[in-house]
Amino acid sequence: MNKKQIKQDDWLRRMRWVGIPLFVISILSLWAGQWLANPTLGQIFIVTMPIVLVIGFVYNIRFVMIAVRLQKQEANKASPPKK
């Protein structure tokens, strides 16, 4: 299994492109909202964190699906054809 090949998947790239900045915004809003005692920043955290979690779960599920698919393809290539 080649992780480089898996990570080149278009959907995984899109999820990273959206998920990582959203994660940073979410965590920064949590910290800044707590530090500044600003409830609006806390609401931004409440809105962005579920989105980030869903993107993360979907990313992991897709990663595993692609990894299993590639393992099956490698196993089929390695094993002789059955009669």
Q: Is 66 a domain residue?
A: yes
Residue 22 within any structural domain of the chain:
yes
Terminus-to-terminus CA distance in the chain, angstroms? Answer: 27
> What domain range includes position 68?
3-75
In a domain, 83, yes or no: no
The residue whose two tokens read 């990663």 is 63
How many domains does one find in the chain?
A: 1
CA 3 to chain CA mean position, Å: 14
Please tell me the predicted confidence (pLDDT) of residue 7: 77
How would you write the pLDDT of the chain (83 residues) with one tens digit per residue?
A: 677 778 788 999 999 999 999 999 999 999 999 999 999 999 999 999 999 999 999 999 999 999 999 889 888 887 766 66
Q: What is the DSSP string of 39-79?
A: HHHHHHHHHHHHHHHHHHHHHHHHHHHHHHHHHHHHHHHHS
- pLDDT, residue 76, reads 85
Give the per-residue pLDDT at 75.
86
